[in-house]
Amino acid sequence: MSPPLITLTSDFGMSDGNVATMKGVILSICPDVRLIDISHGIPAQNINHAAFVLGTTYKHLPGSAIHLAVVDPGVGTSRHPILLVTPHGSFIGPDNGLFSYILAANGATMAEAPRPGAHVLDHVQVNVPPDCQAFLLNRAEYWMEPVSDTFHGRDIFAPAAGHLAAGVLAGDLGSVLTTLRSNYFPPNRVSNGRMDGYVIHVDRFGNLVTDLVLKEPVDLAMQVEIRGQRIKGISRTYQGGNGLLAINGSHGFLEIAYRNDDASRLVGAGVGTQVTAWYTDDSR
């Protein structure tokens, strides 16, 4: 039988010892676990970035994996430490939106109305989906005492991941939660064949990932506009077109890239920038 698998995601970087500290805590509880880093290069305190990375990666890892995610600017405040169990992976970290994409993929519905004009960077309370379970990590016997107010990754989250990997039941780690924090995902606004969306992620190459999903992977009749710049047609590869190009990215979303260069810098766009796509034969 394969050993249990824990992945780690954080904004701790690799110039400090925090990541190895969490691994040490896990190994002291579950010595035969396999550890896989997803990313520790999340920009400091950037919950959105981590949520996207985790949300597009977890599905390629085994469904039995435990995903530990610590981007936690609110450590020590009232935000909840949680465990979210889904049909494909268990997730441990602060309840601050880190698991937004996992909740959305499992069909989470809103537990409250979003504020008027809410966009993709806003948060909203959502219901834990029917196939999932969520727990507040409030059982002190599974913490590493004394719990600090500044490093729950070491004192609460890593121990919970270690105990879960070692066979402790999810329900023993804490009490049931029925709602969680999530990013608000505005539906793609489609009217007259025109789609309005947002940049939701900027990757390491400066490619701008949007929340727009295309019906056709390559479409010469589509135009895309971002910050006043127009792109005609959807390219098949990053070598398509000259300069700025639009592509159906590997995550399944429309991406805006720049041939052999950094679209984010050249366009002056980032997370939250508006993007519009439409068919040239549609009225506009």
Binding stretches for a copy of itself (CB under 8 A): 2, 5, 7, 11-17, 19-21, 23-25, 27-28, 31-32, 35-45, 49, 53-54, 56-57, 60-62, 73-77, 148-151, 154, 203-205, 217, 236-239, 247-250, 260
Closest contact distance (angstroms) between CB of 231 and a copy of itself is 16
Q: Are 189 and 117 spatial neighbours (Cβ–Cβ below 8 Å)? A: no
Output 128 or 271, the one with its CB closest to a copy of itself.
271
Closest contact distance (angstroms) between CB of 175 and a copy of itself is 23
Give 254's strand partners: 248
Closest contact distance (angstroms) between CB of 194 and a copy of itself is 25
Output 23 or 127, the one with its CB closest to a copy of itself.
23
Closest contact distance (angstroms) between CB of 41 and a copy of itself is 4
Answer whether the bond into residue 146 is a cis peptide, omega within 30°.
yes
Half-sphere exposure of 123 (CA within 13 A, CB side): 13
Q: What phi, psi does 203 have (nearest 5°)?
A: -90, 180
Which whole-number Å values give the CA distances from 227 to 215, 240, 260, in the listed order?
23, 21, 20
Output 77 or 178, the one with its CB closest to a copy of itself.
77
Output 32 or 281, the one with its CB closest to a copy of itself.
32
Output 27 or 110, the one with its CB closest to a copy of itself.
27
Closest contact distance (angstroms) between CB of 105 and a copy of itself is 14
Give 10's strand partners: 70
Alpha-carbon gap, residue 197 to 191, rounded angstroms? 12
Output 38 or 98, the one with its CB closest to a copy of itself.
38
| Interior/surface letters 65-97, b for 16+ CB within 10 angstroms, e for the rest | bbbbbbbbeebeeebbbbbbbbeebbbbbbbbb
Output 43 or 268, the one with its CB closest to a copy of itself.
43
Closest contact distance (angstroms) between CB of 87 and a copy of itself is 16
Closest contact distance (angstroms) between CB of 221 and a copy of itself is 19
| Interior/surface letters 134-162, b for 16+ CB within 10 angstroms, e for the rest | bbebebeebbbeeeeeebbbbbbbbbbbb
Output 15 or 283, the one with its CB closest to a copy of itself.
15
- Measured at the CA of 79, the angle between CA 114 and CA 133, to 5 degrees, comes to 75
Residue 2: count other Cβ atoms within 10 Å of its Cβ: 7
Closest contact distance (angstroms) between CB of 171 and a copy of itself is 27
Closest CA to 120 of 65, 68, 48: 48
Two structure tokens written together for 198: 């947002």
